[in-house]
Structure 1
Amino acid sequence: MARYAQVGTNIGGFAAKYAGQRFLGIDLDGDKNARELKAALGGLKGPIMKVAQMMATIPEALPAEYAQELSQLQSAAPPMGWLFVKRRMMAELGAGWQKRFDSFEKEAAAAASLGQVHKAVSLEGVPLACKLQYPDMQSAVEADLSQLDFILSLYRRIDTALDPRDMGKEIGERLREELDYDLEARHTALYADMLKDEPRIRVPEVYEELSTKRLLTMTWLEGQPLLSFKDESLEVRNKIAEAMFVAWWHPFSRFGVIHGDPHLGNYTVREDHGINLLDFGCIRKFPPSFVNGVIELYRALETDDMDRAVAAYESWGFKNLSRELVDILNLWAGFIYGPLLDDRVRTIADGVKPGDYGRKQAFAVHKALKEHGPVSPPREFVFMDRAAIGLGGVFLHLGAELNFYRLFNEAIDAFDPHALEKRQGEALKRAGLAPPV
């Protein structure tokens, strides 16, 4: 109840002020309102901040000034103290939990919006990472998600170009999944299976006997933050970038699975410049028809085939597409697919300043949708777009220069939806996961 009150008070105060401005006919200052919304959310921590950050990373889900402000929210939460940690660990593993480890560090190695990580050592001497969920997170998530519809309804009054309701449903579903560490353990096993033949990418091993639905214990993978390699040679930065490309697109093109949270803290770089994938809370599984649509749209843009593009959009669930709406969607698709259609070595932004990357295209799309929309993107696009933009951000940070066309075509070479369905079904079964709906 306290959480409902806290979120409702902060967001409600912002909404009341916004509604009053509209009622009195006062011109709305988008930049100022965006700063005030960030301030209202910034004191809350926890899940609602994660939702806001998700919305900020999805192109055109929010007006530009709102996305810019909300993207600055910090996801780090103050870590639980040692007495609190001991009580939580006892609740998960029992009274003698400390005897099940050779050592367990009192200070958290990392703290985020839903939980924190402690470094430990197993009785066999293996370094471990223990991801411990904060108490009462399920209640906090439900309280915060109850406000998400309100926030989105407020946005629909601000701007009618895009209907984000399905986006809200998708975000809610994925966020609830992130609370289930048993599910994350199975997702970790799935990724270990899908990438077992890729030496450039390492996935931690889960210790099931030291894990529960709210405690996930894995092998500790040594590595350095990606940003610490920004000043390395181009050869090193390209090597890291190629490994990142494979880590995201190989599972998608071969198994219909994508990592939906390409946050810089979710991977580290090894001494050999391979990468460690560390977090599997936000995983999206797609039916083969969706993956086929992604490739079909790529081929349509490659050959300038309008009918093929329309068929691809419709296979994803876009409805009532006019010629104008297809042209608008192709503007954004051209931006996302642009580096993958260009058969040469280049940077991801190709000379565009990082701060301006995608801004021109987003503005053009938004302006056109105001005239011909609104459009309701299928919910699958939330984390598909987020992954694509997040991965592009990694390449921007690294200043990588690669032939993205070659890398992508290697990933989709000899794509067969029937073969993908079989591979996907077998991999999901081995990991104890259900097929996508």
Structure 2
Amino acid sequence: MAEKNSAFGRARRYARVGASVGGLAARLGAERVLGVKMDRARHAADLRAALGGLKGPLMKVAQIMSTIPDALPKEYVQELAQLQANAPAMGHAFVKRRMAAELGPGWQGKFKSFDLNAAAAASLGQVHRAVSLDGETLAVKLQYPDMASAVEADLRQLRLIFAIYGRTDPAIDTRHIHAEIAARLREELDYELESRHMRLYGEMLKKEKHVHIPQVLPALTTKRLLTMSWLDGRPLLEFRDAPQETRNRIAINLFRAWYVPFYQCGVIHGDPHLGNYTVRADFGINLLDFGCIRIFHAKFVGGVIDLYRAISTQDRALAVHAYETWGFTGLSNDVIDTLNLWAEFVYAPLLEDRPRRIQEMEESGLYGREVAEEVHRKLRQLGGVTPPREFVFMDRAAIGLGGVFLHLKAEINWHRLFHDLIADFDTAALAKRQKAALDKAGLPLPA
């Protein structure tokens, strides 16, 4: 039985996070509206310290916000980007109660062994290592209690931040950003849905020898408990000083892990957080978390390719068509020019038929940040723009993954990788493949 999204739970959560998030909103408002100067860097550091001690979705929201261009001032992005999904684990008594609630009082008899100490603790739950009755090593993800209330409380706090920031800086209308984050976070509460996402990715990537997806154990999975095969691997950042060829191989596997599903079936993994994948001994990739998955209509994917072709051939009419396909409306010539600045940055590595780093200019260390700030400044002067909902996590995936490639200092011919994926692109064929893959995973077509 799903936990209730209780008024008491929400109120308790508001009390816990209100000082941190309300403080951000109030100080931003005072600075922009009243002209009261504040030490943003210090306040951002205080905010990170406060959020880092919380379990639940607010920490995940902070991680998401750190990778969506223009959603928050850069001082906050720099601090929030440092948040890692390492909230302190819950103790043995908690684990026993939660496991009994999900699998019944005899739950321990369903495993050969179960380690009550968490192997990893994250924002919405923690992972335990176990062994099945057949001797298979398992990863068991157990959701923290009262997460439905926590999600609603934290989304309300996020709306407060957006409301204050939006009144003082109209460059980006954040209504759709909030709606999209809210939808994805609510989905992440449903581990049975995540198990279907895992089956979907297993189907879409079954021909990729160097991308690996855990196998779900349905009999040991509920809405708040997800049991899957354990995949051994090392954290990606351990390879930052590896030989160039090794880093390139890892980057190629990551690229295919993200973009084969998108260009073949219109599905994107919207959370390229460093904790969501590990590297195998052969430099293949393990994808480990499937809570934040976005499924797009075929025409949206077509728009991504159309914009690439528009930028590469300087076809302004095709660029406008691509933006309108995504749902941008009422675009003036100046706004189109400004959006094209961002598009030219995102597509730049794909335009050159040569090995290169994902970003060759010197920047602040945050992928795309300086370009985003210039676009933001121009949009503010022009009266702002409203990004469509579908755009939010697509943009986030591109920027988040670009940041990973930046960490790896990978030198790849991105142009050829991309063209290998889109060479025979056809929206009707994509829609057919998408439906077949979704049917096998038990998932509906996008609304």
TM range (shorter): over 0.9
Q: Which amino acid aligns with 2:339?
A: L
Aligned to 2:167: 157
Aligned to 1:7: 17
- 2:204 aligned with 1:228: no
1:176-210 deviation per Cα after TM superposition (whole angstroms, max 9, x unaligned): 00010000000000000001111111111000011
More deviation, 337-346/17-26: 17-26
Give structure 1 stretches of 5+ with no counterpart.
none
Aligned to 2:176: 166
Q: Which amino acid aligns with 1:195?
A: L
CA distance in 1, matches of 2:372, 2:113: 51
From 107, 111, 115, the equivalent of 2:125 is: 115
Displacement after TM superposition at 1:4 (Å): 2.1
Query: Does structure 2 retain, via aligned residues, the 8 Å contact 1:38–1:69?
Result: yes
Q: Which amino acid aligns with 1:10?
A: S
1:219-261 deviation per Cα after TM superposition (whole angstroms, max 9, x unaligned): 0011111111222221111111111111111000000001000
CA distance in 2, matches of 1:278, 1:40: 27
Evaluate the alpha carbon distance shift between residue 358 and residue 125 of structure 1 in structure 2; reply closer, same or farther with a 3 A threshold: same
More deviation, 58-67/267-276: 58-67
Sequence identity percentage? 62
Question: What root-mean-square deviation, in Å, do the aligned CA atoms of Structure 1 and Structure 2 show?
Answer: 1.7
CA distance in 2, matches of 1:320, 1:63: 26
TM-score (norm. length: structure 1) = 0.96
Evaluate the alpha carbon distance shift between residue 163 and residue 191 of structure 1 in structure 2; reply closer, same or farther with a 3 A threshold: same
Aligned to 2:351: 341
Give structure 2 stretches of 5+ with no counterpart.
1-10
- 2:113 aligned with 1:103: yes
Q: Which runs of 4+ in 1 moved over 4 A?
A: 16-25
Q: Which amino acid aligns with 1:412?
A: I
1:68-116 deviation per Cα after TM superposition (whole angstroms, max 9, x unaligned): 2222234321111011100000000001110110101121110001000
Displacement after TM superposition at 1:146 (Å): 1.8
From 408, 418, 425, the equivalent of 1:415 is: 425
Query: Does structure 2 retain, via aligned residues, the 8 Å contact 1:14–1:40?
Result: no
Residues 54-133 of structure 1: pairs in structure 2 closer than 5 A: 54-133=64-143
Aligned to 2:271: 261
1:340-389 deviation per Cα after TM superposition (whole angstroms, max 9, x unaligned): 11111111112535616423312211111111131010111211111111
SS of the aligned residue for 1:218 comes to strand
Aligned to 1:210: 220
CA distance in 2, matches of 1:247, 1:430: 19
Query: Does structure 1 retain, via aligned residues, the 8 Å contact 2:108–2:114?
Result: yes
1:312-352 deviation per Cα after TM superposition (whole angstroms, max 9, x unaligned): 00111101101100010000111111101111111111253
From 395, 410, 420, the equivalent of 2:405 is: 395
CA distance in 1, matches of 2:123, 2:91: 15
CA distance in 1, matches of 2:141, 2:444: 24
- 2:275 aligned with 1:239: no
Aligned to 1:352: 362
Displacement after TM superposition at 1:13 (Å): 4.1
Evaluate the alpha carbon distance shift between residue 35 and residue 226 of structure 1 in structure 2; reply closer, same or farther with a 3 A threshold: closer
Query: Does structure 2 retain, via aligned residues, the 8 Å contact 1:11–1:40?
Result: no
1:265-314 deviation per Cα after TM superposition (whole angstroms, max 9, x unaligned): 11111111111111111100000010000000000001000000001001
Query: Does structure 1 retain, via aligned residues, the 8 Å contact 2:270–2:293?
Result: yes
From 172, 186, 203, the equivalent of 1:176 is: 186
TM-score (norm. length: structure 2) = 0.94
Query: Does structure 1 retain, via aligned residues, the 8 Å contact 2:85–2:275?
Result: no
CA distance in 2, matches of 1:258, 1:18: 33
Evaluate the alpha carbon distance shift between residue 24 and residue 433 of structure 1 in structure 2; reply closer, same or farther with a 3 A threshold: closer
